[in-house]
Homo-oligomer: A and B are copies of this chain.
C-alpha cells in the first residue's frame, strides 16, 4: 500500500535534456554534477524514500505529533528515519562544498527534494525548513554565528525553523509585534508565534529558530522588523548545548493533514525573554526573510510535484488492479485502466506532474546559472528568469497539485473517500501547499507587482520570446501541429494579458489584484507547456537517432500532446478572465455578499 518509486527516469530527462545539466557541471564548484553521479544520487535517494520514508508516511498520519508539557513528541519511527537521513548525508546535500555540503546544484537537489516530499511530506518539511534557516544564516549571519551554528545545521545534527507568523500577522508581516530588547551581546525576545512547522520535536539535541521581531526603536511596518537566531537550548562558546532558552511550544494545531509535522504555537519570553542573536542588519529582517522565503517557495512548488506524483503512482497502481465493468463492446470484465474516462484522469495526472517537474527543474537550472555563472550577462539573465518563475513554480504547481490529488481520490471511487487506501492522506496533506510560504494570492501579487509591473514586463518579454522560438521549432514538425497551435494560442494570451495589466493598472489600481491569479495560472501553464513542447521535440529527436529507451520517449510525446490539448487549452480561458478586468470583481458592496 505504501509503495513509492522515485521517478528517476523522468528526473534524468528533465535535468539532462531540459535543464542543461551538462552546462551546469561546467560552472565553477559544480564539477561533481556529472550525469552518472546525478543518476546515482537520485537512485540512492529513491532507495531511502522507498524503504524508509514512504512506509512511515501513513504512520505519521494516524499517529501524529503530540504535545506533552513543554515538549513535542514526533511520530514514533521518525527519529530513526531522520538519523538515517542525516547519516546518508542527505541533509547537507544541497549546500556548497565550502560549507561542508554536498556541492550539488539546485538542478539536482530539487528532484532529490521532490523524492523526500513525495515519499513522506510531513517528514520532509523538517529538513526543508532547516535548509531555509541555513540559507539565511549563510547570506546574512555574522561569522561568529555561522561558526557556532552552521556546521551542525548543515550536517543535520540540529534542525532549523522559520518563526514569522503571528495571530494578527499572516500574509501581512508589517503587523509583526514580537519584541526584541538589546542586552549585552544578545537580545531578549518576547512574543507569540503561530504555524511554526517542526517548531519542536525530540529528534535532535537542539533546534535553531529564525525569529522575526521588532526592536524598540523600530519604524512601523515591514521596514521595522529584524531577524533573530533563537536556539531552543543555549550554546556556549565551545558549541556545547546548555540550559533551555525561555521559549516553549504551547500547543500544536489540529490540521486537515500533514499530521506527522508538528505545527506549533510558540511562546517566547514567558520568563523575561528568550535569548536571541541578530541576523543581518537591524530592521532588515524582511530582506533576510526573503532569502529564506524564495527557496522555501520553490521547495513548496516542488512539494506540489512530489505529492501529485505520489497520488498519481497510487492511482495508476489501483487502476491496474481494480476490476470493474466491461471493456467497450465486450462482456469481459476488465481492470479500470481500460476505461477511457479513467485513462483521461490518469493522463491528466501524469501530464500535469511531468509539466510541473519540467518547470521546477528549469527553475533550478536558472538558479544555478544565476548563482554560479562567471558570465555577468548569463548571471543576470538567469536571475531575472528565476525571479519571474518563483511565483509560477510555487503558485501554479501547488494549485494544479490540488486537482491531481483530488483525481487520485476520484479514481479510487468510494475507496478513495475512506482512509485505508492512502489516497485520502495525499488529498488532505496537499491542501496546505497553496497556503503556506505565501498563499497563491501572495504569489500572484508578487508576480504582477514585483516581477512584471516593476520592470514593465521586460523579463516576461524575454520569456515570451524564448517560448516563441519553441513554437517556431514545433511548427516545422507536422506531427506536432496541435502542440504548436495550443502553445501559440497560450503565448499570445500571455502577451496580451501582460500588456493588459501594464496598460490598465495605470488607470485602475484594482487591475493587478483582480487579474493576478489568472496571470499566475496563465504563466505557469504556458511555461510548463513550453517545456512539454521542448520535451516532445527532444523525444522525437531521440527516437530518430534510435536512442535507448524508446518507450519512454514515445510516452513523453503522447504526454506532451495530452498536456497541450487538455491543460494548455485553458490558457485562453485565463486570458478571457483577465481581459474582463476588475469591474465585476469589485462591483458589489460588502452587504451584497
Residue numbers of A with Cβ under 8 A of B are 165, 168, 170-172, 174-175, 194-195, 221, 253-256, 263, 316, 319-320, 323-326, 328-329, 331, 333, 337, 339-347, 350, 402, 406, 409-410, 413-420, 424, 427-428, 431-432, 434-436, 439-441, 444-445, 482, 486, 509-510, 512-514, 516-517, 551, 554-555, 558-559, 561-562, 565-566, 569-570, 572-573, 576-577, 580, 582, 584-588, 590-593
Q: Give bound CA distance, A253 to B170, whole Å.
A: 36
Q: Give bound CA distance, A259 to B565, whole Å.
A: 39
B170 near A324 with CB under 8 A, answer yes
Q: How far is the CB of A517 from chain B (nearest CB, A)?
A: 6
Contacts of A436 in B (CB 8 A): 414, 417
A413 near B439 with CB under 8 A, answer yes
A256 near B344 with CB under 8 A, answer no
Contacts of A509 in B (CB 8 A): 328-329
A419 near B254 with CB under 8 A, answer yes
A592 near B513 with CB under 8 A, answer no
Taking A510-B340, A593-B337 as contacts, is the C-beta distance between A585 and B328 under 8 angstroms? no
Contacts of A444 in B (CB 8 A): 341
With beta carbons under 8 angstroms apart, the residue of B170, B343, B428, B551 that contacts A414 is B170
Q: How far is the CB of A523 from chain B (nearest CB, A)?
A: 15
Q: Give bound CA distance, A111 to B576, whole Å.
A: 33
Nearest 6 pairs between A and B by C-beta?
Answer: A340-B513, A565-B580, A569-B576, A341-B441, A340-B514, A555-B592
B195 near A414 with CB under 8 A, answer yes
Nearest B residue to A485, CB-CB: B576
Q: Give bound CA distance, A554 to B428, whole Å.
A: 39
A174-B325, A402-B406 given; name 20 further pairs at CB < 8 Å: A170-B414, A175-B324, A255-B417, A255-B419, A328-B510, A339-B513, A340-B510, A341-B513, A341-B517, A342-B441, A343-B586, A409-B431, A414-B435, A428-B428, A555-B588, A558-B592, A562-B584, A565-B580, A566-B580, A570-B573
Q: Give bound CA distance, A254 to B58, whole Å.
A: 14
Q: How far is the CB of A573 from chain B (nearest CB, A)?
A: 5
B171 near A413 with CB under 8 A, answer yes
Q: Give bound CA distance, A253 to B420, whole Å.
A: 9
Taking A256-B427, A424-B256, A434-B410 as contacts, is the C-beta distance between A584 and B347 under 8 angstroms? yes
Q: How far is the CB of A418 from chain B (nearest CB, A)?
A: 5
A558 near B587 with CB under 8 A, answer yes
A324 near B171 with CB under 8 A, answer yes
Nearest B residue to A428, CB-CB: B256
With beta carbons under 8 angstroms apart, the residue of B439, B445, B569 that contacts A410 is B439
A324 near B413 with CB under 8 A, answer no
Q: Give bound CA distance, A183 to B107, whole Å.
A: 72
Contacts of A417 in B (CB 8 A): 253, 255-256, 431-432, 435-436
Q: How far is the CB of A311 from chain B (nearest CB, A)?
A: 13
Q: Give bound CA distance, A558 to B175, whole Å.
A: 34
Q: Give bound CA distance, A347 to B514, whole Å.
A: 11
Q: Give bound CA distance, A346 to B165, whole Å.
A: 24
Q: Give bound CA distance, A316 to B588, whole Å.
A: 13
Q: How far is the CB of A425 from chain B (nearest CB, A)?
A: 9
B584 near A558 with CB under 8 A, answer yes
Taking A328-B509, A342-B441, A570-B570 as contacts, is the C-beta distance between A427 and B418 under 8 angstroms? no
Contacts of A486 in B (CB 8 A): 576
Contacts of A517 in B (CB 8 A): 341, 344
A344 near B514 with CB under 8 A, answer yes
Taking A439-B410, A558-B587 as contacts, is the C-beta distance between A171 and B344 under 8 angstroms? no
Nearest B residue to A327, CB-CB: B509
Contacts of A573 in B (CB 8 A): 569-570, 572-573
Q: Give bound CA distance, A209 to B325, whole Å.
A: 25
B343 near A585 with CB under 8 A, answer yes
A516 near B341 with CB under 8 A, answer yes
Q: How far is the CB of A593 from chain B (nearest CB, A)?
A: 4
Q: Give bound CA distance, A195 to B414, whole Å.
A: 8
Taking A171-B324, A573-B573 as contacts, is the C-beta distance between A551 and B592 under 8 angstroms? yes
Q: How far is the CB of A105 from chain B (nearest CB, A)?
A: 30
B341 near A514 with CB under 8 A, answer yes
Q: How far is the CB of A181 from chain B (nearest CB, A)?
A: 25
Q: Give bound CA distance, A585 to B350, whole Å.
A: 11
Contacts of A254 in B (CB 8 A): 418-420
Nearest B residue to A415, CB-CB: B170
Contacts of A586 in B (CB 8 A): 340, 343
